[in-house]
């Protein structure tokens, strides 16, 4: 009985998957009766093109073929406008990681300070509250103007969008470390440095990691839009380039790969969070 129950969810997932594919397939089937057009036009452009029987939107089979093609050759490089999807994803992941790690380097220590001191917390809170809701892309023109480099600007945008969740969560985690653990450290005459690393850091680690997990998801959301703007390389640029090529199949492939990479980044962070989480 329970084994059957265990299978229910995956079976339902498969059902939803095939239903989706089926609907997709039905919607993209070529129209049954070939539409006849002007004979002269047909002679000029060829019968198949002239009938207009096939939409630019691929069938699931076309899409599958394209995905297979990309999977077989993910890293080819034939000039600036024709690079494998693997290379493009690599550029995007690289930008996200650089911007994200820079953000972590700033946000975690700063959040620590803010969390330790109620005065600093209150002093910086208005700034954080104003800066936090700004769409990271709104910074883009300012970044392009001041940094004068599109690649650096993209990284800056990732930095600015990752910094807030980490900062706020770190401050919150540090500020809400249980009083009794701090009292234990005080009665043991533990220095402030040792208290910070041996008591506050492990106690706040799960909250800090939650902030880091939120940040990486946001960073991955933002990189696509940022790369559409800065161009050149990256999965966001790829999507925009394929829109200009009107290759819906490639756009779909990119969308799928964005989703998969995003999921993997989140799973990685979930694993890391689990490492520092403690049961009470």
* Minimal distance, residue 114 CB to another protein, in Å: 22
Tell me the number of residues near another protein by CB under 8 A: 21
Residues 129-168: x where in contact with another protein by CB under 8 A, - otherwise, as a string: ----------------------------------------
Residue showing tokens 């480099």: 149
* Minimal distance, residue 200 CB to another protein, in Å: 11
Q: Does the protein bind another protein through residue 278 (CB under 8 A)?
A: yes
- Residue choice 107, 171, 174, 199 for contact with another protein (CB under 8 A): 199
Q: Does the protein bind another protein through residue 187 (CB under 8 A)?
A: yes
Stretch in the footprint of another protein (CB under 8 A) among 16-24, 119-127, 195-203, 262-270: 195-203
Stretch in the footprint of another protein (CB under 8 A) among 4-12, 143-151, 163-171, 193-201: 193-201
Site for another protein, residues 201 to 220, rule: CB under 8 A: 202-203, 205
Q: Does the protein bind another protein through residue 274 (CB under 8 A)?
A: no
Q: Does the protein bind another protein through residue 40 (CB under 8 A)?
A: no
Q: How many CB atoms lie within 10 A of CB 50?
A: 19
Q: Which lies closer to another protein via its Cβ, residue 2 or residue 187?
A: 187
* Minimal distance, residue 193 CB to another protein, in Å: 12
* Minimal distance, residue 71 CB to another protein, in Å: 42
Closest CA to 92 of 219, 2, 199: 219
> How far, in Å, CA of 106 to CA of 215, rounded?
13
Site for another protein, residues 163 to 182, rule: CB under 8 A: 178, 180-181
Q: Does the protein bind another protein through residue 275 (CB under 8 A)?
A: no
Q: Does the protein bind another protein through residue 230 (CB under 8 A)?
A: no
Cβ-based neighbours of 220, under 8 Å, separated by 6 or more? 96, 258, 261, 262, 265
Please report the DSSP string for the chain in residue order: -HHHHHHHHHHHHHHHHHHHHHHHHHHTSPPSSPPP--HHHHHHH-HHHHHT-S-SSPPHHHHHHHHHHHHHSTT-B-STT-B-HHHHHHHHHHHHHHHHHHHHHHHHHHHHHHHH-HHHHHHHHHHHHHHTTS-GGGGHHHHHHHH--HHHHHHHHHHHHHHHHHHHHHHHHHHTS-HHHHHHHHHTT--HHHHIIIIIHHHHHHHHHHHHHHHHHHHHHHHHHHHHHH-SSSHHHHHHHHHHTT-HHHHHHHHHHHHHHHHHHHHHHHHHHHHH----
* Minimal distance, residue 277 CB to another protein, in Å: 9
Q: Does the protein bind another protein through residue 198 (CB under 8 A)?
A: yes
* Minimal distance, residue 89 CB to another protein, in Å: 36
* Minimal distance, residue 197 CB to another protein, in Å: 12
- Distance from the Cα of residue 231 to its chain's centroid: 17
Q: Does the protein bind another protein through residue 42 (CB under 8 A)?
A: no
* Residues lying near another protein in the complex (CB under 8 A): 178, 180-181, 183-190, 194, 198-199, 202-203, 205, 276, 278-280
């Amino acid at each position: 009985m329970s084994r059957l129950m265990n299978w229910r969810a995956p079976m339902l997932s498969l059902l939803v998957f095939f239903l989706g594919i089926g609907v997709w397939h039905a919607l993209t089937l070529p129209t049954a009766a070939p539409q006849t057009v002007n004979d002269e036009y047909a002679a000029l452009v060829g019968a198949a093109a002239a009938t207009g029987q096939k939409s630019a939107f691929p069938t699931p089979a076309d899409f599958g073929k394209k995905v297979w093609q990309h999977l077989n050759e993910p890293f080819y490089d034939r000039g600036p406008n024709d690079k494998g999807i693997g290379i493009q994803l690599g550029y995007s992941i690289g930008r996200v990681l650089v911007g994200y790690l820079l953000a972590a380097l700033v946000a975690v220590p700063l959040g620590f300070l803010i969390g330790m001191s109620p005065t600093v917390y209150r002093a910086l809170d208005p700034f954080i509250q104003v800066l936090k809701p700004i769409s990271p892309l709104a910074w883009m023109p300012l970044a392009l103007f001041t940094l004068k480099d599109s690649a650096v600007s993209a990284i800056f945008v990732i930095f600015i969008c990752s910094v807030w969740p980490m900062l706020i969560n770190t401050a919150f985690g540090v500020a809400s470390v249980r009083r009794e653990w701090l009292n234990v450290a005080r009665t043991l005459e533990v220095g402030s440095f040792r208290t910070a690393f041996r008591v506050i850091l492990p106690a706040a680690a799960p909250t800090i990691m939650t902030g880091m997990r939120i940040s990486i998801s946001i960073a991955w959301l933002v990189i696509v839009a940022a790369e559409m703007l800065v161009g050149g390389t990256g999965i966001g640029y790829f999507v925009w380039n394929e829109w200009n090529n009107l290759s819906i199949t490639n756009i779909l492939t990119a969308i799928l790969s964005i989703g998969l990479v995003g999921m993997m980044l989140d799973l990685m962070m979930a694993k890391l969070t689990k490492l520092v989480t403690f049961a009470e």
